[in-house]
Amino acid sequence: MDKNTLLIVDDVDINREILKDIFEEQFTIYEAEDGEAAISLIDKYKEDIAIMFLDLQMPRKNGLEVLTYMNEQHLENQIPVIMITGESTVDSDVKAYELGVADIIYKPFSPAVVIRRTLNIIELYENRINLENKLEERTAQLRVSQKKLEMNNEFLMNALSSVVEFRSLESGEHIKRVKTFTGVLLSHLKKLYPEYNITNEQVHLIVNASALHDIGKIAIPDEILLKPGKLTDEEFEFMKTHSAKGCEILEMFKQEENEFYQYCYDICRHHHERYDGRGYPDKLVGENIPIWAQIVSIVDVYDALVSKRVYKPSFSIEEAERMILAGECGTFSPKIIDCFESAKEELFELTQSELSFNDVV
């Protein structure tokens, strides 16, 4: 046993003596003859008490009042209590169990029965506390492992997104803008449409996953990816394969039941889908498109419009907003449009000043 102190609380001397005689060879014994004295001893020795015997009927706070105090101090799961009484009722028994007693023993009792039930309860409580401690320790270890995994994911994400920037000759600020704008729209989605139940932790993961939306461009030949003029129909069809090719790349890093991987995959594959089913590669319709992919979709369009690319000049922020709201860049969910309109002022300020990138008007 980890603890070796036993507290006996009873206003009758002979009752305390009987219990003391039974357990004094195994435990250090403390005695209290009323509820207030019991509370004082509990406060003083709560870390050492292995079990407490508690009478029901006593002066200066009865047994139920002592139990109530223990509940207020959150000690009911730390110190097991056996109620020993000869004057209980069904109501008092029910109340005692509600307040957390481990057992009720009725007078007169057999010493052998009291010993066995006492040792069983102590063992049960110690095992439970040990399991709780092991669970807390394991949970802490898992948190550390999760943190390391997140750091590894972020390192991999940054490495892969840097490859995309290098291959496509896009500004190094492009992915930062996509991440920032994605976070902005997600915050407005949480506020306007709480039914999506997006948590702050999910926002963090989705924002990081958005950086890999164009990872498939690694597999597109330079003569298409970097072509300064308009693509031919055949070239455009090949360019559209970057969504599926990106998912093939991501599958090499797949981890079972990994939420971050799923966001990366969904965003990479579906950020060119459109709400009316006219997008690619799967022609998904409506809410079949994951909401995080819908967010990155409109963000990607917005950033493409306000940025200078090898194949086009940049549009002004106002013109980009007008084109999106007029449906000139494809159909977006009414909810996503609501979020975009709600975030317009914030996006304008970020685009114009906070991000300070060179290829934006």
* pLDDT tens digits for range 15-37: 999 999 999 988 999 999 999 99
pLDDT tens digits for range 263-299: 999 999 999 999 999 999 999 999 999 999 999 999 9
The pLDDT value recorded for residue 161 is 64
- pLDDT-based confidence at 163, cuts 50/70/90? low
- pLDDT-based confidence at 358, cuts 50/70/90? very low
The pLDDT value recorded for residue 357 is 45
Is it the case that residue 354 has pLDDT exceeding 80?
A: no
Summarize the confidence of residues 315-322 as an average pLDDT. Answer: 93
The pLDDT value recorded for residue 27 is 92
Q: Domain of 216?
A: 169-354
* Residue 185 CB neighbours (<10 A): 23
218 and 110 fall within a common domain: no
Give the range among 50-64, 140-154, 179-193 with minimum mean pLDDT: 140-154
Enclosing H/E stretch for 347: helix 334-349
Domain CATH for 330:
1.10.3210.10
The pLDDT value recorded for residue 151 is 66
216 and 336 fall within a common domain: yes
Give percent of the chain above pLDDT 90.
59
The pLDDT value recorded for residue 361 is 38
The pLDDT value recorded for residue 153 is 65
68 and 177 fall within a common domain: no
Is it the case that residue 349 has pLDDT exceeding 70?
A: yes
The pLDDT value recorded for residue 237 is 95
Residue among 357, 352, 300, 316 at smallest CA distance from 164: 300
25 and 87 fall within a common domain: yes
The pLDDT value recorded for residue 1 is 59
User: Is the separation of the CB atoms in 283 and 331 below 8 Å?
Assistant: no
The pLDDT value recorded for residue 359 is 45
Domain CATH for 9:
3.40.50.2300
314 and 210 fall within a common domain: yes
What is the domain count for the chain? Answer: 2
76 and 203 fall within a common domain: no
The pLDDT value recorded for residue 313 is 82
Give percent of the chain above pLDDT 70.
89
**Domain-ending residue, one of 116, 136, 156:** 136
pLDDT tens digits for range 81-119: 999 888 778 888 899 999 999 999 988 888 998 999 999
Q: Which residue has the tokens 């803008």?
A: 177
185 and 242 fall within a common domain: yes
> Strand ranges (DSSP E) for the chain?
5-9, 28-32, 49-54, 81-85, 103-106
Is it the case that residue 355 has pLDDT exceeding 50?
A: no
Q: Determine the Cα–Cα distance for residues 24 and 81; give it in Å rounded to an integer.
A: 18
Q: What is the mean pLDDT of the chain?
A: 88
123 and 183 fall within a common domain: no
* Residue 79 CB neighbours (<10 A): 23
β-strand partners of 8: 31, 53
Enter the pTM of the model. Answer: 0.59
Q: Would 164 be classed as within a structural domain?
A: no
**Domain-ending residue, one of 136, 161, 196:** 136
132 and 173 fall within a common domain: no
202 and 344 fall within a common domain: yes
Could you tell me which residues come within 8 angstroms of residue 57 by beta carbon, excluding any fewer than 6 positions away?
A: 11, 63, 85, 87
User: Is the separation of the CB atoms in 277 and 295 below 8 Å?
Assistant: no
Q: Would 155 be classed as within a structural domain?
A: no
**Domain-ending residue, one of 88, 120, 136:** 136
Q: Determine the Cα–Cα distance for residues 29 and 80; give it in Å rounded to an integer.
A: 15
Give the range among 36-50, 179-193, 200-214, 345-359 with minimum mean pLDDT: 345-359
Q: Would 259 be classed as within a structural domain?
A: yes
Give the range among 7-21, 120-134, 141-155, 216-230 with minimum mean pLDDT: 141-155
